[in-house]
Chain A
Amino acid sequence: MNEKKIIKIYLYTRFERFWHWLQALMIIALIITGLEVHGTYSLLGFQRAVNIHNFIGLSWLVLFAFFVFWLFTTGEWRQYIPTTKKLFAVMMYYARGIFQGKPHPVEKSPGAKHNPLQRLTYLGLSALLLPLQMVTGLLYYTWNSWAWMNIPLAPVALLHTLLAFMLVSFLLVHVYMTTTGHSLFSHISGMITGWEEIYDTTRVEEWELPGKRK
């Protein structure tokens, strides 16, 4: 098994990587400033934290529109279509196989960036968690404009806070999962350079290829 040859394939385009890291930066900055606005600690000063948080939040909204546009024009959205195929196998791999040196049941390949578990996670993230966070954030930001509807700020703020905690949780697990590649940093370097390490023997299953999906 260890004799397998590792090759590199170009998996992540320049835009994707740019988007990924910019979003990472923005989310981290939003979490840091957001927790300060929440009153958890004092770091930059409340006013500066609010200003930065609002600026990044609104920028993120604009950039997210570009991301969605890119997603649909390139057809990359298909990478996020959920599947249950091998989902259990992937879960079992992370629960057991990984400790036993077993191979990942769904290796990365040019047509399939995400394994079934990633598909589900990233779909939930991109289609649910992030948009919801943006919507609650925008409602929070524009609260004065719809105050006449007499909807209290509290539920919006609380939902925004809870979702932020979930994003922190995602961030922690996500960063940890990058260490599960062929080497500790191979996934991270893949997302930096665009070149991901895979075994040259990896065969892409028919069902994984977006273009050939039935």
Chain B
Amino acid sequence: MARMIIPRVLLPLLAAAFLSLASPPFFTGAASDPRDDEAPGRKLAKQAVKRDKRWSTTDHTTHEALKKPFMSGEEVTQACLSCHSEAAEQFHQTIHWTWLASGSKDDITYGKAGYSVNNFCISANAMEDKACLKCHTGWNGVEEGINCLKCHGMEKFNYSEAFTDIQAFVRDDDPETLKIMAEIQKEVSSAVGKIGLPGRSNCGECHFKGGGGDGVKHGDLDTSLMKPNKALDVHMGIDGENFTCTRCHTTTNHNIAGRIYTNPAVEKTQSLLEDDLAPKITCVSCHSDAPHTNDSKMNDHTDEVSCQACHIPEYARVNPTKMSWDWSRAGDLKDGKPYNVTGDLGKDIYQSIKGEMVWDKNVVPEYFWSNGTQTSATAKDVIDPATVVKVSHPVGDGSDPDSRIYPFKIHRGRQPYDKVHKTLLTPLLSGDKGYWTTFDWNEAISLGNASLNLPFSGEFDFVETTYAFPITHMVAPKTQALACIKCHTRDTGRLANLTGFYMPGRDRVRLVDSLGWLIVLGSLGGVGLHGLGRFFTRNGRRDSNE
């Protein structure tokens, strides 16, 4: 019968249609698909870093200038400058020296050496808080000039101890002492000869331990990046690309690329194909703005969503990071002595000198629109103590073409503010008269604010604050990248708090949905009733057989 034969013609066609639905393009989400390796962004980036080893035309251990017996750090620097004649001039202009965001020394608004505050140790009190200075790039703080070895010394060596000893021994006439001094000087010379481009331990000594300890500040920068595996950081993993910091943080005249306070890392995000001399500081620099395979909808995201948003699903994946710091709880003493309490993660959750802290690991970021700049509060800014004060917060807007959705660590704090002047206060912490010694807020704040020439009414309380760190390190392997559903879902997605744009899977207009379902259910009800009508009237057929 025709009815039986012709479907056989149709069946293969239908089968073909089904098969086409099951073909590879739909399963690009599968991790094992080898075609992923063809992603243009990977290919480009691999080319950009093809040269596997940096090479040098000099061996500093052979330089006569570095073989002399050094008496002080300053002498080492002079030896460096005897060849690198422009280095000091260059370096004095950089934020690593000035601790000021602006290139001009007259503008001291933003920077550790200026009026900037945070919700960690709050302020460096115009460099009066000596504890902060251990991270400064000078010998003995700023007293004795640049310490080139902080960034270029490849051997971890306690120079300050060595030079203190040398200074003490040199006054001694005892030949035995002088012999020991000569030994120390030999060790110094040996260490000084080991010069190179900054390595992880050079940068990490300060940047991994910002805020007074490992992982206190950033969340995506801590000592776990000293020897990470690929799973923690695809770029820095020693079993992977093994990048040092300077692989991306490229340098011009000692100015190292990166975001500082309100200044974005780059004015314009572009790939090396567009500008081969651009800093390599952004993902796009090497990976381009269409990094995924050509048929991938993911490439359509790059104008609205940062790479980091999906590729760093969690931060602090190995070492814990500090999530909050309540200064108002500081000052509790046991038998008149300060004490610490260590929490589950092996970190102090209470310190008499600092207050109460919360630490966390594998933290899911918070997401905000960001154009690369951030607001940054200073001790001069008037705040509204009734609100949570945003000491640092990303600037950006969904309607701004330069803004993308970025992941952030938000560090929450409670810190002192002036109840009369409505400003954040800058207590002096270290030293004999600092809070950490005296546990006297009034004195510490008076001294601290005086160091910045700022008034203090004498009345203070604590206010809740937030400080935002962009999360950009600890990029996970691509198999760990965030699944679409983490954001494209009704109410519980990671971007649930970001409004002002329509996101498929998350957004709907209830009226449209209600109307739609009304139409559908109406149709179903209509045909249902019609069908019942036909059933009960038996299609109107009078039983003519009777």
Nearest to B490 among chain A residues (CB) is A39
Whether A46 contacts B505 by the Cβ 8 Å rule is: yes
Encode contact with B along A166-204: 1 for CB under 8 Å, 0 otherwise. Answer: 101100110011011000000001001111000000000
Within 8 Å by CB of B540, from A45, A102, A157, A173, lies A102
B420 within 8 Å of A (CB atoms): no
With A193-B7, A195-B2 as contacts: A22 and B17 at CB distance below 8 Å: yes
Within 8 Å by CB of B489, from A39, A54, A189, lies A39
B158 within 8 Å of A (CB atoms): no
In the complex, what distance in Å separates the CA atom of A45 from the CA atom of B486?
11
Nearest to A159 among chain B residues (CB) is B512
A134 within 8 Å of B (CB atoms): no
Nearest to A150 among chain B residues (CB) is B399
In the complex, what distance in Å separates the CA atom of A176 from the CA atom of B524?
9
Nearest to B540 among chain A residues (CB) is A101
Q: Quick one: which of B236-282 are within 8 Å of A by CB?
A: none
Whether B508 contacts A176 by the Cβ 8 Å rule is: no
B83 within 8 Å of A (CB atoms): no
In the complex, what distance in Å separates the CA atom of A161 from the CA atom of B512?
8
In the complex, what distance in Å separates the CA atom of A158 from the CA atom of B508?
7
Q: Quick one: which of A20-54 are within 8 Å of B by CB?
A: 21-22, 25-26, 29, 37-39, 42, 45-48, 50-52, 54
Whether B527 contacts A173 by the Cβ 8 Å rule is: yes
Within 8 Å by CB of B512, from A97, A158, A169, lies A158
Q: How many positions in chain A have a CB within 8 Å of any CB in the partner chain?
A: 60
Chain B residue numbers with a CB within 8 Å of A101 are 537, 539-542
B9 within 8 Å of A (CB atoms): yes
Whether A98 contacts B21 by the Cβ 8 Å rule is: no
B55 within 8 Å of A (CB atoms): no
Q: B23-31, B110-118, B187-195: which lies at the A interface?
A: B23-31
Whether A21 contacts B10 by the Cβ 8 Å rule is: yes
Within 8 Å by CB of B2, from A55, A150, A164, A193, lies A193
Chain B residue numbers with a CB within 8 Å of A47 are 28-29, 483-485
Chain B residue numbers with a CB within 8 Å of A29 are 21
Whether B6 contacts A98 by the Cβ 8 Å rule is: no
Encode contact with B along A84-98: 1 for CB under 8 Å, 0 otherwise. Answer: 000000000010011
Whether B502 contacts A153 by the Cβ 8 Å rule is: yes
Whether A165 contacts B519 by the Cβ 8 Å rule is: yes
Whether A147 contacts B303 by the Cβ 8 Å rule is: yes
Nearest to A44 among chain B residues (CB) is B26
Chain A residue numbers with a CB within 8 Å of B531 are 176, 179
With A25-B17, A45-B485, A168-B520 as contacts: A161 and B508 at CB distance below 8 Å: yes
In the complex, what distance in Å separates the CA atom of A9 from the CA atom of B108?
92
Encode contact with A along B488-530: 1 for CB under 8 Å, 0 otherwise. Answer: 1110000000000110111111001101110110111011001
Q: How many positions in chain B have a CB within 8 Å of any CB in the partner chain?
A: 58
A74 within 8 Å of B (CB atoms): no
Whether B14 contacts A158 by the Cβ 8 Å rule is: no
Whether B512 contacts A176 by the Cβ 8 Å rule is: no
In the complex, what distance in Å separates the CA atom of A144 from the CA atom of B530?
46
With A29-B21, A179-B531 as contacts: A98 and B540 at CB distance below 8 Å: yes
With A38-B505, A157-B502 as contacts: A46 and B484 at CB distance below 8 Å: yes
In the complex, what distance in Å separates the CA atom of A163 from the CA atom of B174?
97
A100 within 8 Å of B (CB atoms): yes
Nearest to A56 among chain B residues (CB) is B21
Q: Which of B13, B28, B516, B537 has the most CB of A within 10 A?
A: B516
A162 within 8 Å of B (CB atoms): yes
B50 within 8 Å of A (CB atoms): no
Whether B25 contacts A98 by the Cβ 8 Å rule is: no
In the complex, what distance in Å separates the CA atom of A121 from the CA atom of B494?
43
B544 within 8 Å of A (CB atoms): yes
Within 8 Å by CB of A42, from B27, B485, B504, B540, lies B485
Closest-CB distance, A177 to chain B (whole angstroms): 8
B3 within 8 Å of A (CB atoms): yes
With A100-B537, A152-B502 as contacts: A195 and B3 at CB distance below 8 Å: yes
In the complex, what distance in Å separates the CA atom of A102 from the CA atom of B540?
7
Whether B544 contacts A2 by the Cβ 8 Å rule is: yes
B381 within 8 Å of A (CB atoms): no
Closest-CB distance, B546 to chain A (whole angstroms): 12
Whether B10 contacts A192 by the Cβ 8 Å rule is: yes
A207 within 8 Å of B (CB atoms): no
In the complex, what distance in Å separates the CA atom of A20 from the CA atom of B514?
30
Closest-CB distance, B162 to chain A (whole angstroms): 58
Whether B303 contacts A144 by the Cβ 8 Å rule is: yes
Closest-CB distance, B32 to chain A (whole angstroms): 15
Whether A162 contacts B484 by the Cβ 8 Å rule is: no
In the complex, what distance in Å separates the CA atom of A122 from the CA atom of B110?
68
In the complex, what distance in Å separates the CA atom of A147 from the CA atom of B20?
31
B300 within 8 Å of A (CB atoms): yes
Closest-CB distance, A193 to chain B (whole angstroms): 5
Closest-CB distance, A151 to chain B (whole angstroms): 11
- Give me 24 A-to-B residue pairs in the complex whose CB atoms sit less than 8 angstroms apart, sorted by A's number: A22-B17, A37-B504, A39-B488, A46-B485, A46-B489, A47-B483, A48-B27, A52-B26, A55-B25, A101-B537, A153-B501, A161-B513, A165-B516, A165-B519, A165-B520, A166-B516, A166-B519, A168-B523, A173-B526, A176-B527, A189-B3, A192-B3, A192-B7, A195-B3
Residues of A within 8 A of B (CB): 2, 8, 14, 17-18, 21-22, 25-26, 29, 37-39, 42, 45-48, 50-52, 54-56, 59, 94, 97-102, 143-144, 147-148, 150, 152-154, 157-158, 161-162, 164-166, 168-169, 172-173, 176-177, 179-180, 189, 192-195
- Sorted nearest first, the 3 A-B pairs with minimum C-beta distance are A101-B540, A165-B516, A176-B527
Given contacts A39-B505, A39-B506, A157-B507, 10 further A-B contacts (CB under 8 A): A14-B9, A26-B17, A45-B484, A50-B504, A51-B297, A98-B539, A102-B540, A193-B2, A193-B7, A195-B3
